[in-house]
Structure 1
Amino acid sequence: MPTFLTPGRHGYSVRFSRTRPDTLAVATSQYYGLAGGGTLFFLELSPDGSTLIEVQKLEWSDGLFDVTWSGTTESAAACGAGDGAVIVWRVGCAAPLRVLRAHTSEVCSVDWPRSHLLSASWDTTVKLWDPESEACLSTFVGHSQLVYTAAFSPHSPATFASVSGDGHLKLWTCTEPSRPAAVVKAHDAEVLSCDWSRTETHALATAGSDGLIRGWDLRRLTSPMFTLKGCECAVRRVQFSPHAPSIIAAGSYDFTTRIWDLKRGCEPLETIRHHSEFTYGLDWNALRPHQVADCGWDSLVHVFTPRSLA
């Protein structure tokens, strides 16, 4: 299993490139994000797939809490930072391409699948950006507590979801920033993560500090389609597999990454225990079936194929 150590930096987010299956970006912070700076690592898998190699390391003056690759600009990635900035970098360039400033607190989620970029912050807002002009196009206000994740729908470019410490899942249309299109009380706890199904157009999953993962049919939000229990602590990341619609992965504060197959019931298919601290970042490789990357506060990045899916 390829493993990479980020010395003195605690892993917050890992993402496979959208166009290069062997390239990853990892967002990290010093001192568990409480103080100090942040580092963005660009990594590559060796040709035989056995080793993770550092391609570039970029420093920022505050912690980096999320990273996303651009869906339109080759080799560009954006990070959310503790000083409220969204920083756009490109592999091979030493200086940022853009620094987007409008948030007044930590940016803990970024998403950039098409030309516009989405950022979510502890200031309780979500912002829509044109990275080329560095313009903030809209600010979405509706959550009463910090927003942990905001993610565009892969099926409807003008739609995104957000989840917050207020326990709510909210659906938004980019053209209507004044109010959400739909609201559901998703958990009786903080909602830390959400993810859209890549194949089921109306399916979305949420994960909370209650250790639960819930699936939602956006056509009928009165009750969840499913509830998965298996994590012993908060679920920090949840993500549908891009290759199999019934497969879900989650990373938890109980130091595990777990895999579920909805076709086989609500118990985890596999529990992976290779971190000694919170598992914070998680991503499926969209270009290589069943390959997963995770990262944690133990400064380790792993790339692996779950044994249950091999």
Structure 2
Amino acid sequence: MLTYKTPNRHGYSVKFSPFNPGQLVVATSQYYGFAGGGTLFVLEITPSGDLIEISKFQWTDGLFDVSWSECNPGIVATASGDGSLQLWNLTNRQFPLEVFREHSKEVYSIDWSQCRGEQLILSASWDTSIKLWDPSSVLSVGTFCGHSKLVYNAVWSPLIPSCFASVAGDGLLKIWSSNLPNRAPLTLHSHNAEVLTCSWCKFDQNLIATGASDGLIRGWDLRYFAAPIFEQKGCEYAVRKIQFSPHYASTLASVSYDFTTRIWDYRISCEAIEIIKHHSEFVYGLDFNLNRKGEMADCGWDSLVRVFTPSVLNNVTK
């Protein structure tokens, strides 16, 4: 396991580069995100097996999420507590390439479209709105309103063009088309609690999972919303983030306020197949390495970034 400490900064989001298997970025906040500034760390796994900092970027407010460009290996976007988004060139250590300012409250989620031909960014905010951005313009190209409480997460479908999902404090999962800003074609009351995270399956375009403050993870089939097709139990506190594996169809991971990172296989059990306890505070960020099967990263409020391969993923087949 590789470890890097972000001094005086608390981790909110970690993402591996889709281009370089040994590079990752970490969005962090000062004073746990309640006050102070934010720092974007660019880390690299060296050939000798060390996790080192190669650069960092400062912002005047906390950074809550980060997403890589899907067409340029040197560009990332971040989401901030001051309601703005920043576009960074990782070869320029001074200032953002662009700053997008339309949200009136914290931006908690940012996602860059993975579908070919769509270079669009989603932002989800505590102002209850979701906005769609073209990186070449400072003005948003669409605003999506439908949630009644804080929107915690909005993510593009990796398989369906122009489709994205959102979850919020109102307990709802909504499925949207970026071409229809006035309504969500599908809406589901997915939890009797705040829904903090969602993730699309990378192998089945109809499968999406949600994680909530009730400690539950539920899987949903877009063709049948009457009941979840699976429910994973075991987290003692809120599920902060979930993510489906890009390599194993029925595997997903979660991080939680109970200080754990858990690996699940919904076809095997409703309980975690591995529980990892290597943080001493809330675990916030989570990512799978697209280019190295089984490798993961997480980060938390204890200022630690961990890169590791869970033992159960060493021998899992697709």
TM-score computed with the length of structure 2 as normaliser: 0.96
Give the CA deviation at 1:3.
0.3
Could you tell me which residue of structure 2 aligns to residue 270 of structure 1?
274
Could you tell me which residue of structure 2 aligns to residue 31 of structure 1?
31
The question of 1:200 aligning with 2:204 is answered yes
Pick one of 301, 305, 313 that aligns with 1:301.
305
The question of 1:282 aligning with 2:286 is answered yes
Alignment of 1:247-262 (within 5 A): 247-262=251-266
Alpha-carbon distance in structure 2 between the residues aligned to 1:87 and 1:184: 31
Could you tell me which residue of structure 1 aligns to residue 90 of structure 2?
91
- Preserved CA contact (<8 Å) 1:100 1:131: no
Aligned-pair identity in percent equals 56
Give the CA deviation at 1:140.
0.2
The question of 1:230 aligning with 2:229 is answered no
Alpha-carbon distance in structure 2 between the residues aligned to 1:178 and 1:308: 44
Give the CA deviation at 1:122.
0.4
Alpha-carbon distance in structure 1 between the residues aligned to 2:257 and 2:250: 23
- Preserved CA contact (<8 Å) 1:13 1:27: yes
Aligned length in residues: 309
Give SS of 2:267's match.
helix
Give SS of 1:53's match.
strand
Alpha-carbon distance in structure 1 between the residues aligned to 2:73 and 2:12: 23
Could you tell me which residue of structure 1 aligns to residue 218 of structure 2?
214
Alpha-carbon distance in structure 2 between the residues aligned to 1:285 and 1:222: 33
The question of 1:150 aligning with 2:154 is answered yes
- Preserved CA contact (<8 Å) 2:98 2:138: yes
- Preserved CA contact (<8 Å) 2:164 2:178: yes
The question of 1:178 aligning with 2:177 is answered no
Moved over 6 A (4+): none
- Preserved CA contact (<8 Å) 2:17 2:73: no
- Preserved CA contact (<8 Å) 2:168 2:196: yes
Give SS of 1:42's match.
strand
Alpha-carbon distance in structure 2 between the residues aligned to 1:229 and 1:263: 14
Give the CA deviation at 1:135.
2.3
- Preserved CA contact (<8 Å) 1:257 1:273: yes
Alpha-carbon distance in structure 1 between the residues aligned to 2:305 and 2:89: 21
Alpha-carbon distance in structure 2 between the residues aligned to 1:263 and 1:182: 26
Q: Which runs of 5+ in 1 are unaligned?
A: none
Could you tell me which residue of structure 2 aligns to residue 13 of structure 1?
13
Could you tell me which residue of structure 2 aligns to residue 244 of structure 1?
248
Alignment of 1:35-114 (within 5 A): 35-48=35-48, 50-94=49-93, 95-113=95-113, 114=118
Alignment of 1:134-145 (within 5 A): 134-145=138-149
Give SS of 2:124's match.
strand
Alpha-carbon distance in structure 1 between the residues aligned to 2:224 and 2:265: 22
Alpha-carbon distance in structure 1 between the residues aligned to 2:25 and 2:73: 14
Give SS of 1:105's match.
coil
Give the CA deviation at 1:263.
2.4
- Preserved CA contact (<8 Å) 1:216 1:225: yes
TM-score computed with the length of structure 1 as normaliser: 0.98
Give the CA deviation at 1:75.
1.4
Q: Which runs of 5+ in 2 are unaligned?
A: none
Give SS of 2:292's match.
coil
Could you tell me which residue of structure 1 aligns to residue 127 of structure 2?
123
Alpha-carbon distance in structure 2 between the residues aligned to 1:5 and 1:157: 38
Give SS of 2:228's match.
coil
Give SS of 1:31's match.
helix
Give the CA deviation at 1:208.
0.1
Give the CA deviation at 1:97.
0.9
Deviations 1:226-270 (A, max 9, x none): 000011000000000000011110000000000011221111100
- Preserved CA contact (<8 Å) 1:88 1:96: yes
Alpha-carbon distance in structure 2 between the residues aligned to 1:20 and 1:157: 25
Alpha-carbon distance in structure 1 between the residues aligned to 2:227 and 2:87: 38
Deviations 1:274-296 (A, max 9, x none): 00000000000011101000000
Alpha-carbon distance in structure 2 between the residues aligned to 1:142 and 1:187: 17
Alpha-carbon distance in structure 2 between the residues aligned to 1:76 and 1:157: 22
Tell me which amino acid in the other structure corresponds to 1:63: G
